[in-house]
A and B are shown apart, each in its own frame.
Chain A
Amino acid sequence: MISRTARNIVGLSLGLLAAGGVLAAGADLGNTTKQATNWVAIAMFAIFVAITLGITKWAAARTKSAADFYTAGGGITGFQNGLAIAGDYMSAASFLGISGLVFANGFDGLIFSIGWLVGWPVITFLMAERLRNLGKFTFADVAAYRFAQTPMRSFAATGSLVVVAFYMIAQMVGAGQLIKVLFGLEYIYAVIIVGVLMMCYVLFGGMTATTWVQIIKAIMLLTGATFMALAVLFQFGFNPEALFAKAVEIHPKHLAIMSPGALIKDPVSAISVGMALMFGTAGLPHILMRFFTVPSAKEARKSVGWATTWIGYFYILTFIIGFGAIVMLTQNPEAYYVPKMVDGVQAIGADGKPVWDGLKGGGNMAAIHLANAVGGNVFLGFISAVAFATILAVVAGLTLSGASAVSHDLYATVFKHGNADSASELRVSKITTVCLGIVAVLLGIAFEKENVAYMVMLAFAIACSANFPVLFMSVLWKDCTTKGAVAGGIVGLITSVVLTILSASVWEAVMHNPKGSALFPYSSPALFSMSAAFVVIYLVSKMDNSKQAQLERSLYPAQKVRSETGVGASSASAH
């Protein structure tokens, strides 16, 4: 029974890869099998929860105004924020998914790692300092700086909430799947634990608590991954060639793991997925929001410098961990593999050796089993707790950015026309946080049995097709107008969603249409939807000669002075 499920998981993930889910598959944890209850892991996680709730209590005393809630009063340093961004970005899916992919296919895991990293220089070169100079609480502050507030804010809030929703569902379902294998608890517990804890952090501690949860998680994840990578390299005298040689010798695919495999089929998909990752990162609301927590553009730049360093370092570690898992787990199949059973006894292969049927708990468990192999049961518990804590930190960041889109952009600006006081804005944020928490739990339950592999990639596609072009053009192109930005953003949003539905990862894998029937043949819509957004913004802005448009163009030089020099920039610590 278990072995069949495990085989199905392997089959499903391989099928997904082949079906053109391609790069998207690495961002998903797939379906998992419940394991025996792991009390050490649960105890470790309980310690993490106790510490973070303690921090939340401390943060709650300092969270009085809306500025404290959204941006921790702007008092986070560049180094701290860099760690927090890394904690916000390094997901359980990238840790377990990429190391699992390296374990299964070797080289291909590296292609993922690179893709998830290349968005960061783009943010650094084009966005970070301008965001900090122009914005206050949300990226809509920046996009709507010189434009008509109501349409721009409504659009930006919609873009934020849609991205947050898809990203959130993937995280909640991932949490439910993980708790079954890591702690040996039921799916539903995970969804409720994540929902309740995330609400506590955000509701009481706002950005201060969220930031520290992310920092602690980042430190735990980096420490744990470093230890594992060092333990692996130590066994091979810190000689990667020796590690690779051993892996090639015992991996069933042998030398094939040292070359790129089937991951990239056609160049169009490769470029399109690359664009989604490269520019989508610069359109994720929960990441953009982090730039308002630092006091200056200088610190904002330092944040991305550190974030890129930590994230890149982490991805190099996952590659070593994946190869370490090949060597150490394959040599000890009794401990980590499910036996292939035939008529109640383990099958014996033609070579006289017992046959095994994939890793216990599924292909994404490579890093978790490796933790046991190098550090025993206590370290296994630590890594399991870290993997689960990882989801919590990401979800808290998402909730906070969703809540601020509703309270700051929709309530305070669109609904109250900028006349809301800090106290009522804060109250709306908190009500929204509770609502988002409940919705997240319900969605997590509703999507338990669904295939959510496409959702993170969809979030990236929307972020790069709707949020990024609007932000980019409003800040860098003087002729951009409200009409152009809103029209282009809406086109980008709709195109990316529709093309994703028509692609194999939804049309065939989710809606169960026959194989090969998907109308959109590529792995990501980004190439088309992002281009469409830019073209529409350009054309509509050019054709827009209304009074409002002329006013907006005349405001550009002043906006540019502020975005380039920081003169008049919000000091964030608006006490």
Chain B
Amino acid sequence: MNDDIVARIEANPKYHELVRKRSSYSIVMSILMVIAYYGYILLIAFNKEWLGTPVAPGMVMTIGIPLGIGVIVFTIAITNVYVRKANTDFDDMSAEVIKEASKK
């Protein structure tokens, strides 16, 4: 039943553009996340002293704390940035591809 639509979508260059754009977007995002998380973990494994340095002289808060909270905030932010982008731009492209395939 859907075979025709599927074939027409496959033949549409816009579909391949969508897949390419969205995949590269999600791969870049994934790499950023891996860098942020493993960067933090490796800092803990190899440079505890630096993370334990006070943010400013005379303070007890160390660099590691805002940095750690920062990783949490970054995780929330990057997830929501992707969701917004996928739910607007990519979904518009996707809807267009489906529309073009259905009307013929």
Residues of chain A touching chain B, judged by Cβ–Cβ distance below 8 Å, are 107, 110-111, 113-114, 117-118, 120-122, 124-126, 129, 240-241, 244-245, 248, 255, 258-260, 263-264, 266-267, 270-271, 274, 278, 298, 301-302, 304-305, 308-309, 312-313, 315-316, 319, 557-558, 560-562, 564-568
Contacts and interface: CB of A to CB of B under 8 A. Distances in A.
A316 B52 contact: no
Given A241-B61, A564-B94, 15 more contacts: A110-B65, A111-B41, A117-B72, A120-B79, A125-B26, A244-B65, A255-B60, A258-B60, A258-B62, A260-B48, A278-B37, A302-B83, A304-B79, A564-B19, A567-B101
Of B15, B29, B45, B97, the most chain A CB neighbours within 10 A belong to B45
A479 B41 CA distance: 34
B68 A114 contact: yes
A311 to B, nearest CB: 9
Nearest to B93: A565
Contacts of B61: 240-241, 244, 258
22 contacts: A107-B65, A111-B68, A114-B68, A114-B71, A121-B30, A122-B33, A241-B59, A244-B61, A248-B60, A258-B52, A258-B64, A260-B64, A264-B41, A267-B45, A304-B79, A308-B80, A562-B6, A565-B9, A565-B98, A567-B6, A567-B101, A568-B6
A567 B2 contact: yes
A124 B19 contact: no
B78 A121 contact: yes
The 10 tightest CB contacts between A and B, nearest first, are A259-B52, A305-B83, A125-B26, A312-B76, A308-B79, A110-B68, A267-B45, A568-B2, A258-B62, A121-B33
B51 A259 contact: yes
Given A111-B68, A244-B60, A301-B87, A274 B52 contact: no
Interface in B42-65: 42, 44-46, 48, 51-52, 59-62, 64-65
Contact of B45 (A270, A560, A562): A270
A566 B19 CA distance: 12
Of A240, A305, A315, the most chain B CB neighbours within 10 A belong to A305
A218 to B, nearest CB: 16
From DSSP, what is the main secondary structure of chain A's interface residues?
A: helix
From DSSP, what is the main secondary structure of chain B's interface residues?
A: helix
A125 B82 contact: yes
A565 B91 CA distance: 8
A255 B61 CA distance: 10
B80 A309 contact: yes
A315 B52 contact: no
A564 B80 CA distance: 19
Contacts of B15: 561, 564-565
A126 B25 CA distance: 11
A308 B62 contact: no
